[in-house]
Amino acid sequence: MSAVADLRLAERRALATRLRSAISRLARNRAVLVGTAVVGLLLTVAAMLATGRSGDPLSLALPLAPLVGVGVAAALSSRRMSSDALELQSTSALQRALVDSTVDGICLTDLAGNPVLANAPLQRLVVELGLPLHGTVAERLLALADRTTEPARFSERMRELGRDLAASEDEFELAESGRVFRGYTAPVARRDGTVVGRIWTLREVTADRRLERLRDAFLGAVSHELRTPLTSMSGFLELLGDSEHELGPAGRKYVDVIRRSNGRLRRAVEDMLLVAEIEAERLELQPTTTDLAELATATVEQALPAAAERGVELRLEADGRLPLEADAGRLRQVLDNLVSNALKFTPSGGSVILSTRNGSGPITVEVTDTGIGIPQDEVGQVFSRFYRASSATRRAIPGTGLGLVIARAIVEGHGGTISLESSEGEGTRVTVTLPRQAGGT
């Protein structure tokens, strides 16, 4: 092989290496790739014409080979880029459809509060509410202030949201239409914690609020209407009690059933009225110097007959005197409710313990039972009004689902806390902590 042939082979190998490197770099940039191909083609044709080698097929093919490779690479790169663009467009359309299909109006803003993205439900609400089309979200919502039922509070809240990026949730009602909306906002951060924007959501809850008001009005009306006949029934039961010895065994049994049913109905009515007061924030407490140990003793003594009738052991574990400033009547109601619940849900042969602890801090009261318990996924709902655990409804155990609601309101009204732990089939423990001074620790 001649030296010229060796030189040409070396040149071809070097050219191939440079070609692979060029294709790898240019494949990432379509514009550079196409531009390079066009320039190379023009230069090659010009060189061939200048040297007079255009008539030699081999001489023509060798310079054109790199250009053919560049063209193929350009086509492949263009195809891949088109595929990526289509995939990105499809993903973007899917994400947009998902956001638009939600019930909430959703808006993403920058750190200054200027909208970057808004979904279809929010755009409809903007038109319905007549919000301005320019400005930050807080500024646009501020335009609603005079139309709400609480203009001063709403204005102040919107100004706070304009300054503070912390997560928050609020409700407001439009005076002219009665429409109620719940808004939520929170910062949006990258994985490294850098805050880059803010999310805002707006949901109409008018139907929920109207339903709650109707329910409250219904409860109030029913409770008041029931109190009058209950008072009459109680009076006649007292009259029958004076001459109960004249009745036969069957008559005395009937009177006893009526008396118990009357008591249950009266307690249910009183509970509903008290819940209405709690919801209206009209619960009044009258603190005095009280001994919680005495209240606990009275609760256990009153419940002992019911415990004996059910075959349940009931005992008190008191830690001496427990003086505190509290509403004795309301605290007694809490203890009665907790012990009554424990007895109701504890089968025969079980036990209920009312215990008190006196330390240097708040006073602690616990009611522990070995009853049917509550499913773990329902424990968080037991303090909701009218809620009854599935373990109770399956066994048809009577109740209104108001006892724990009332207990929590009274305890929190004293500045205390109440919590519940339960395991289905094992039992329940309710813990109450109370400060020694009403309304504080």
Q: Are residues 239 and 367 in the same domain?
A: no
Look at residue 439 and tell me if it is in a domain. Answer: no
Look at residue 441 and tell me if it is in a domain. Answer: no
Report residue 39: phi and psi, to 5°.
-65, -45
Nearest Cα neighbor of 242 from 258, 261, 255 is 255
Q: Are residues 50 and 81 in the same domain?
A: yes
Note the pLDDT of residue 2: 46
Contact 47, 63 (CB under 8 A): yes
Nearest Cα neighbor of 27 from 65, 69, 62 is 69
**CB neighbour list of residue 358: distance below 8 Å, 6 or more residues apart:** 319, 320, 321, 322
Q: Are residues 169 and 213 in the same domain?
A: no
Longest CA span, the chain: 142
- Measured in whole angstroms, the distance separating CA 204 from the mean position of its chain's CA atoms is 16
What tokens appear for 34 in the block?
């196409």
Beta strands at 351-357 and 363-369: parallel, antiparallel or unpaired = antiparallel
Note the pLDDT of residue 374: 85
pLDDT digits (tens, 9 = 90+) for 345-386: 899 999 999 998 877 778 899 999 998 888 887 777 888 777
Q: Tell me the residue range of the domain where 92 lies.
A: 3-99
Q: Which of 204, 228, 261 is the last residue of a domain?
A: 204
Give pLDDT < 50 ranges for the chain: 1-4, 7, 53-54, 440-441
Give the number of domains in the chain.
4
Find the helix or strand (DSSP H, E) in which 429 lies: strand 427-434
Q: How many residues does the chain have?
A: 441
Task: Check which CATH number belongs to the domain holding 383 and give it.
Answer: 3.30.565.10
Look at residue 26 and tell me if it is in a domain. Answer: yes
Q: Are residues 298 and 427 in the same domain?
A: yes
Nearest Cα neighbor of 170 from 197, 195, 133, 144 is 144
Query: HSE of 222 in the Cβ direction (CA atoms, 13 Å)?
Result: 14
Contact 437, 384 (CB under 8 A): no
Q: Which of 174, 204, 234 is the last residue of a domain?
A: 204
Q: Are residues 271 and 385 in the same domain?
A: no
Q: Are residues 313 and 389 in the same domain?
A: yes
Task: Check which CATH number belongs to the domain holding 153 and give it.
Answer: 3.30.450.20
Q: Are residues 10 and 119 in the same domain?
A: no
Record the pTM: 0.52
Look at residue 42 and tell me if it is in a domain. Answer: yes
